[in-house]
Amino acid sequence: MISPARSWREFPQRYRLEAARCEGCEKVLYPPRVVCPDCGGCTFETTPLPREGKVVTFTVVRVPPAGYTEQSPLPIALVELTNGVKVMMQVGDLADPEELEIGMPVRLEFRRVAWDGEAGLIFYGHKAVKG
């Protein structure tokens, strides 16, 4: 599973949806990187991601990996946010996973994403819910 140090390192992106805006070309990177893949710039300012978007593609994972088996069937979508940034995330609150479709509007909500048994770490992040 994920180490405490790694989990802590990812808090700004998982908890606060912090992205990086390239000072050279304005491209927004999520997660942040050392180098802008578009212009090669190396200076960024922190910016939060918007919390609305739409489903670009999706699946329902019927055979999830270890640590996620209790959540089966697990709907996961690639969501394009209103600023054009695409983010992969679980989809929550669906009465029936068959409701998922390309183009579905969603909003992002802070949720528990995974957990490492009864005594291990709990991993929080954002899920998409019908918007």
Partner 1 sequence: MRDVAVVGIGMIDFGELWEKSLRTMWAEAALAALTDAGVDSVDMVTIGCMSPGLFAGQEHLASLLADELGMAGVPAARVESACASGGLALRMAFAEVAGGLSDTVLVTGVEKMTDVDGADATFALGTAADQEWEGFHGITFPGLYAMLAQVHMQRHGTTSEQLAAVAVKNHANGLLNPHAQYHLKVSVEDVLASTMVADPLHLLDCSPVTDGAAALVITTVERARELGSERPMVKITGSGLATDTMALANRNDLSQLDGVRLAAERAYAMAGRKPEELHVVEVHDCFTIAEIMTTEAIGLFDPGFGASAVDKGLTSLHGKIPVNPSGGLKSKGHPVGATGVAQVAEIATQLWGEAGQRQVEGATIGLAQNMGGSGGSSTVHILEVAS
Size of the site for partner 1 (CB under 8 A): 33
For residues 46 and 20, the answer to whether their CB atoms sit within 8 Å is yes
Alpha helices in the chain (DSSP H): 4-9, 11-16
Measured from the CB atom, the residue of 43 and 57 that comes closer to partner 1 is 57
For residues 9-48, which are near partner 1 according to CB under 8 A?
Answer: 10, 31, 37
Cα distances (Å, whole numbers) of residue 103 to 24, 108, 129: 31, 15, 13
Residue 82 touches partner 1, criterion: CB under 8 A: no
Spatial separation of the C-alpha atoms in residues 19 and 4, rounded to whole Å: 22
Segment interacting with partner 1 (CB under 8 A) among 15-23, 39-47, 51-59, 104-112:
51-59
Binding stretches for partner 1 (CB under 8 A): 2, 6, 10, 31, 37, 56-68, 71, 74, 76, 78, 86-90, 97, 102, 113-114, 123, 125
